[in-house]
């Protein structure tokens, strides 16, 4: 099916999902929208996160997307059930794939989850994990300083490691802990200091990467994959600075991110059309 995949995030963190989608599905076109002007979502009230997410989805619906990826853990926690009720296209979040991957790799059945205030407060990961396996020991920890570091685009390895060390202190010496879920798609950009702090015995799970694998399987299962012969062109939008978005993205994306467009979300669109 020659229609794009839509990807939304509170900022640049969802590009970790987009990068994996591009690697696995080189023929599929992506349209990415990062709400950088209102990032981070983690500290915001649930109602605000829902409203912002609906606004982004309204924009992507006009692009005739065939599948939506909510590449934001906070938005996934607060909106995925609502969006599945309202939209006729498949929707993939980042929480269930991350939970399934963690359960596959843990040997001690002791798992920690780090995320934004909103994601951790929602208890979405413990719920998802317990639905699959009830005999788990689960720790969750909010790390509110991580997203601002990534979104700033300016941080030294030393500064990042210091913040990571201080933030992860409550879980660094937990007995039996062998698996850590990065419950925010911004966090893989801090993967190296996180690995250094947690140690070699703790497996790091990127919920975003796991979500990309699920998209690949779903496209095949529902016969939505593009069957032609092309190398896809991707489009990037932000509600904030296109220059800063490009600067951050091109530091670690394999695909050159250029000509990023700034958009102004029209909140009245959602108010007028609550059912899409």
CB atoms within 10 A of CB 230: 11
Annotated active-site residue 39? The verdict is no
Last residue of a domain, one of 190, 207, 224: 207
Of 154, 180, 207, the domain-final residue: 207
In this predicted structure, what is the pLDDT of residue 58?
95
User: Bridge partners of 67?
Assistant: 5
User: What is the predicted pLDDT for the residue at 1?
Assistant: 80
Same domain, 120 and 45: no
Residue appearing with tokens 């994601």: 119
Q: Please tell me whether residues 116 and 179 are part of one structural domain.
A: yes
Q: In the prediction, which pLDDT does 275 show?
A: 40
DSSP state of 248: H
Place of tokens 């005999």: 135
Return the pLDDT at 276.
Answer: 40
Same domain, 109 and 234: no
Q: Mark which of 158, 183, 207 sits at the end of a domain.
A: 207
- Is the bond leading into 2 cis (omega within 30 degrees of zero)? no
- In this structure, are residues 241 and 222 in contact, taking their beta carbons and an 8 Å threshold? no
Query: Do residues 189 and 100 both lie within one domain?
Result: yes
Nearest to 236 by CA among 33, 64, 70: 33
Q: What is the predicted pLDDT for the residue at 234?
A: 96
What's residue 267's pLDDT?
Answer: 56
**Is 117 assigned to a binding site?**
no
Contact 95, 69 (CB under 8 A): no
Edge-to-edge strand order for the sheet containing 91-92?
Answer: 91-92, 67-70, 5-9, 30-34, 235-238, 261-262
CA 41 to centroid of chain Cα atoms: 12
In this prediction, residue 262 carries a pLDDT of 95
The pLDDT score that the predictor gives to residue 132 is 94
First and final C-alpha spacing in the chain: 22
CA distance 7 to 176: 36
Q: Are 83 and 99 in a shared domain?
A: no
What is the distance between the alpha carbons of residues 80 and 128, in angstroms, rounded to a whole number? Answer: 13
User: Among the options 12, 72, 111, 189, which is catalytic?
Assistant: 72
Asked whether residue 163 falls in the same domain as residue 262, the answer is no
Active site residue 72: yes
9 is in an annotated binding site: yes
Set 184, 205, 248, 265: catalytic member: 184
Same domain, 102 and 200: yes
Tell me, what CATH number does 247's domain have?
A: 3.40.50.1860
Write down the pLDDT at residue 118.
94
Is 234 annotated to bind ligand?
no
Contact 17, 49 (CB under 8 A): no
Residues 22 and 38 both lie in one domain: yes
Number of domains in the chain: 2
Which pair of tokens denotes residue 187?
A: 């966090």
3-class DSSP state of 173: coil
Query: Is 10 flagged in the annotation as binding?
Result: yes
Does 250 carry a binding-site annotation? no
Shared domain check, 121 and 169? yes
42 is in an annotated binding site: yes
Domain span at residue 164 reads 95-207
Residues 113 and 146 in one domain: yes
Q: Are 189 and 213 in contact (CB under 8 A)?
A: no
User: Are 187 and 217 within one domain?
Assistant: no
DSSP string, 192-219: HHHHHHH-TTSEEEEHHHHHHHHHHHHH
What are the pLDDT tens digits along the chain (276 aa)?
Answer: 899 999 999 999 999 999 999 999 999 999 999 999 999 999 999 999 999 999 999 999 999 999 999 999 999 999 999 999 999 999 999 999 999 999 999 999 999 999 999 999 999 999 999 999 999 999 999 999 999 988 887 678 888 999 999 999 999 999 999 999 999 989 998 999 999 999 999 999 998 788 988 999 999 999 999 999 888 999 999 999 999 999 989 988 888 899 999 998 765 444 444 444
Residues 6 or more apart whose CB falls under 8 angstroms from that of 64 comprise: 3, 4
Give the per-residue pLDDT at 266.
62
84 and 121 share one domain: no
């Amino acid at each position: 099916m020659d229609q794009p995949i839509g990807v939304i995030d509170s900022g640049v963190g969802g590009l970790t999902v987009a990068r994996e989608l591009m690697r696995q599905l080189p023929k599929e076109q992506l349209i990415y929208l990062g709400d950088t002007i209102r990032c981070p979502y983690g500290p915001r009230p649930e109602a605000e996160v829902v409203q912002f997410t609906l606004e982004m989805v309204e924009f992507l619906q006009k692009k005739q997307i065939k599948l939506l990826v909510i590449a934001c853990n906070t938005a996934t926690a607060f909106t995925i059930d609502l969006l599945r009720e309202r939209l006729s296209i498949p929707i993939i979040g980042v929480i269930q794939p991350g939970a399934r991957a963690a359960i596959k790799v843990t040997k001690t059945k002791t798992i920690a989850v780090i995320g934004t205030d909103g994601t951790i407060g929602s208890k979405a990961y413990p719920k998802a994990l317990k639905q699959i396996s009830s005999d788990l020991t689960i720790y969750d920890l909010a790390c509110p300083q991580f997203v601002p570091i990534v979104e700033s685009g300016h941080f030294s390895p030393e500064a990042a490691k210091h913040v990571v060390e201080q933030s992860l202190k409550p879980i660094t010496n937990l007995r039996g802990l062998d698996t850590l879920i990065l419950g925010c798609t911004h966090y893989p950009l801090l993967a190296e200091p996180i690995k250094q702090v947690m140690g070699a015995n703790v497996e790091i799970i990127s919920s975003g990467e796991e979500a990309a694998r699920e998209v690949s399987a779903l496209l095949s299962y529902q016969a939505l994959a593009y069957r032609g012969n092309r190398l896809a062109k991707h489009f990037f939008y932000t509600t904030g600075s296109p220059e800063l978005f490009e600067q951050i993205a091109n530091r670690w994306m394999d695909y050159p991110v250029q000509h990023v467009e700034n958009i102004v979300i029209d909140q009245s669109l959602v108010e007028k059309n609550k059912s899409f």
